[in-house]
């Protein structure tokens, strides 16, 4: 993993650095790792006591019931956690160990474990290992070595968590953008179904796509279906109004469909000026209105049998 090394470690995040760079950045030298190894040999044989202390504390935290829904999950996590501590207190810190620490961050991102829970857990764990389980009194040098290595470990896990979470969010954003193209519903009628959350970036991309499609097709009516929008707040409502105003400037009538009573009430309470925006409760009503605006009649087809 030599490609991860940086000539200036302080300018990069822990999720990109090599083990050698991280050790230098956190001022963890060979003597520190030696002290950590000695510390580990003195406390790891008391792992059962650590588990008892740690999970007595964790069970009192609000997140416990959310992430440990059954005993099998809890026991599996205890095994993984025990392996993790043996890793950290081994007295070595190489690329293989670093990759295992990053996997912890990736796992936390996948299950949605908040970073503050991990930070609190590491803080509590240091207290248990150093104050409750270490035989005798710890010298200041060992305390410094162990705390620096644990700080390094925490940074790796948290930054990997954040990087992975950002990747997930970006992937979801791209998926949403790809899954909602502006489609030609009929001659002179376009439609865009929106699913999920709307932020400024997505709203701008939607407006660009809509206006481009209107310019290309010379459509007369545009249906914006928001039945799949999870949250409507002031920002979302204003984004929608901007899209409708922009379409009108291009000579295209806009209809917003999927407007539930709850969303309508929210928009009114927010005081958003909807002006002369056409709205309907259902997509069916919007399509009917759209066809009416382009003088197209919908007839039911009845079979002969």
Phi, psi of 228 (to 5 degrees): -95, 10
Q: In angstroms, rounded to a whole number, what is the distance separating the alpha carbons of residues 269 and 263?
A: 10
pTM of the model: 0.57
What tens digit of pLDDT does each residue of 120-149 get?
Answer: 999 999 999 999 999 989 999 999 999 999
- 3-state DSSP: the chain helix, strand, coil percent, rounded to 5? 65, 10, 25
* Residue that wins the pLDDT comparison between 14 and 103: 103
What tens digit of pLDDT does each residue of 264-281 get?
Answer: 777 776 666 677 788 898
Neighbours of 207 (CB within 10 A): 16
Percent of the chain with pLDDT over 70: 87
| Residue 12 structure tokens | 């990069």
Q: In angstroms, rounded to a whole number, what is the distance separating the alpha carbons of residues 86 and 88?
A: 6
Q: Where are the beta strands (DSSP E) in 12-145?
A: none
Q: Nearest 5°: CA angle at 17, between 11 and 20?
A: 110
Q: Show the domains of the chain with their CATH numbers.
A: 2-174 (1.10.490.10), 183-293 (3.30.750.24)
What tens digit of pLDDT does each residue of 174-197 get?
Answer: 655 555 678 888 889 999 988 777
What tens digit of pLDDT does each residue of 227-254 get?
Answer: 887 677 777 778 888 888 899 999 999 9
């Amino acid at each position: 993993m030599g490609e991860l090394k940086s000539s200036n470690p302080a300018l990069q995040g822990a999720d990109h650095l090599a083990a050698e760079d991280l050790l230098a950045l956190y001022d963890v030298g060979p003597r520190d790792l030696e002290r950590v190894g000695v510390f580990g040999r003195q406390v790891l044989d008391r792992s059962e006591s650590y588990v008892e202390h740690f999970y007595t504390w964790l069970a009192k935290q609000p997140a416990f019931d959310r992430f440990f829904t059954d005993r099998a999950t809890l026991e599996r996590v205890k095994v993984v956690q025990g392996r993790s501590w043996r890793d950290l207190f081994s007295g070595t810190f190489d690329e293989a160990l670093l990759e295992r620490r990053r996997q912890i961050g990736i796992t936390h991102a996948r299950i949605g474990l908040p970073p503050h829970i991990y930070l609190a857990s590491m803080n509590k764990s240091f207290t248990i290992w150093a104050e409750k389980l270490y035989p005798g009194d710890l010298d200041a040098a060992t305390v410094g070595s162990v705390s620096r290595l644990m700080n390094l470990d925490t940074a790796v896990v948290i930054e990997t968590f954040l990087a992975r979470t950002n990747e997930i969010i970006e992937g979801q954003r791209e998926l949403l953008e790809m899954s909602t193209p502006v489609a030609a519903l009929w001659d002179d009628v376009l439609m865009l179904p929106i699913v999920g959350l709307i932020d400024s970036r997505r709203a701008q991309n939607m407006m660009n796509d809509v206006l481009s499609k209107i310019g290309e097709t010379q459509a007369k009516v545009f249906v914006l279906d928001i039945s799949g929008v999870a949250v409507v707040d002031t920002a979302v409502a204003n984004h929608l109004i901007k899209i409708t105003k922009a379409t009108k400037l291009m000579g295209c009538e806009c209809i917003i469909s999927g407007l539930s009573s709850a969303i309508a009430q929210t928009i009114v309470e927010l005081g958003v000026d909807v002006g002369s925006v056409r709205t309907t409760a259902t997509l069916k009503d919007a399509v009917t209105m759209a066809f009416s605006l382009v003088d197209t009649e919908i007839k039911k087809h009845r079979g002969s049998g």
